[in-house]
Amino acid sequence: MRAVLTVLALWAAGLGAAAQFGKISVLYQTLQTTYAAHAGIGIGLMVSIVGIVGLIFGTTAGLLVTRIGPRRAVLSALALGAVVSAVQSSFPSYPLMMLTRVLEGVSHLTIVVVGPTAIAGVTSPRHQGLAMTLWSSFFGVTYAGLAYFAPGLIAAHGAGALFQLHGAWMLLCFMALFALLPPDPAHRPISGQGNLLAQHVAIYASPYLAAPAMGFVFYTVTYVAVLTLLPAAVTPGWGPFVGVLMPLVSITVSLTLGVWLLSRLPAFRLVQAGFAVAMLASFGLWLTWGQGAAEAACALLMAAALGVVQGASFASLAQINPRAEDRARGAGAIAQLGNLGTTTGTPLLAWLLAQTGVNGLAVFLIGFSALGIAVHSLQARRRSAAERAAR
């Protein structure tokens, strides 16, 4: 029971980390008015700067977590997140608000590195697939919850109440994990560490540490871009239907069919299978473009396939990296490359849609899914070669 509660508390912390993005997105128009002198690019940067911190320091965070321990790291991140939300609720000057967002980026990055690492550490191999898939749903669940609850909360209690509620959530997660997480193990130096650059090179050169991240980046490039742009591009009248159902279908299929398949396939093979189905769905979307219901069905099939990719990517981190310190380093790479994907995918797809329409959409989706399959095949061959050499 303690392990179950710990997983749920870590997932709740993940929801709080996702809300560090989501609360600004929900309040985007309010912030445009409040900080009118910085409307446009300035407020856009306020949203994205949390991800930029992850893009720059993702792998570094994974290395630091192995040094200070996951318990100390996540508790510090939650405490920091609660404090900055309290400051943000007063809508301080723009420079101070941006400083809190940078600090929030540190908090967010630490939580998303520790979360999968700690979950894998407290669950048995039998239940790791379910636990890691649950973790992978934190972004989608948070955005769905904010879309449902935030407008009423803001209307009743003002925009500052959303920041205050978020700070309280982070504090509750802090208290729960303070009670539930085991003490950090004594630090054991990682052999062959070298300097910081050498450690980064070692992570991305490893077919064990880097493989989940190198597949995950192709998921984030495609999924976030499609979720953002596809509803406005499909047949008029079908956009709201597609926009609402895509994340819900993704989460549901990941937590049901995805978990069942993880008990029967290695996680990296399931990632490849998800990308393959996404390619078929993308081809179907190209064939049925402008046909309403058929077009929407293909979009939802693609969302379901990418949901499986999402959960299996985190499960593969635990499957191929049995040591906690390796999981932390691999999770840092996932955070770094995941932020690379979310940062670059949407503008790239927007440009392709503007230039070539549905043809560009099909090339974008099929191309990146094929790359996801290819990189996992390459890394699997490298792992097999390394294991043969070690015998």
Cα–Cα distance, 219 to 213 (Å, whole number): 10
DSSP E strands, the chain: none
Nearest-Å Rg of the Cα atoms of the chain is 20
Quick one: DSSP state of residue 292?
Answer: T
- The two tokens of residue 100 are 């809190």
Residue 250 near residue 310 (C-beta atoms within 8 A): yes
Q: Which of 325, 298, 293 is nearest to 63 (CA)?
A: 325
Residue 166 near residue 270 (C-beta atoms within 8 A): no
List, as one string, the DSSP characters of 61-125. HHHHHHHH-HHHHHHHHHHHHHHHHHHHTT---HHHHHHHHHHHHHHHHHHHHHHHHHHHHHS-H
**The pLDDT value given to residue 283:** 94
**The pLDDT value given to residue 51:** 76
Residue 158 near residue 34 (C-beta atoms within 8 A): no
- The two tokens of residue 357 are 């329409």
**The pLDDT value given to residue 187:** 57
- The two tokens of residue 244 are 């609402």
3-state secondary structure of 379: helix
Residue 53 near residue 106 (C-beta atoms within 8 A): yes
**The pLDDT value given to residue 59:** 74
Q: Residue 289: left (phi > 0), alpha (psi -120 to 50), or beta?
A: beta
**Sequential pLDDT tens for the chain (391 residues):** 788 899 999 999 999 998 888 888 788 778 888 888 777 777 777 777 777 887 777 777 777 777 888 888 999 999 999 999 999 999 999 899 999 999 998 899 899 888 888 887 788 777 877 888 888 888 778 877 887 888 889 989 998 999 999 999 999 999 999 999 888 776 555 544 556 677 778 888 889 988 999 999 999 889 878 877 788 788 888 877 887 788 888 888 988 999 899 888 899 999 999 999 999 999 999 999 988 889 899 999 999 999 999 889 988 988 888 887 788 888 888 888 888 887 788 788 888 888 888 899 999 999 999 999 999 999 999 998 888 887 7
Cα–Cα distance, 315 to 313 (Å, whole number): 5
3-state secondary structure of 12: helix
The domains found in the chain, sorted by start residue, are 2-180 (1.20.1250.20), 205-390 (1.20.1250.20)
Cα–Cα distance, 278 to 48 (Å, whole number): 27
**The pLDDT value given to residue 192:** 47
**The pLDDT value given to residue 195:** 65
Q: How many whole angstroms from its chain centre is CA 391?
A: 36
Residue 281 near residue 305 (C-beta atoms within 8 A): yes
**The pLDDT value given to residue 193:** 53
Cα–Cα distance, 44 to 55 (Å, whole number): 16
H or E stretch including 311?
helix 293-320
Cα–Cα distance, 254 to 139 (Å, whole number): 13
Q: How far apart are the first and last CA of the chain?
A: 39
Q: Residue 11: left (phi > 0), alpha (psi -120 to 50), or beta?
A: alpha
- The two tokens of residue 362 are 């099909």
List, as one string, the DSSP characters of 341-362. HHHHHHHHHHHHHHHHTHHHHH
Residue 329 near residue 117 (C-beta atoms within 8 A): no
Q: What are phi and psi of 18, to 5 degrees?
A: -65, -35
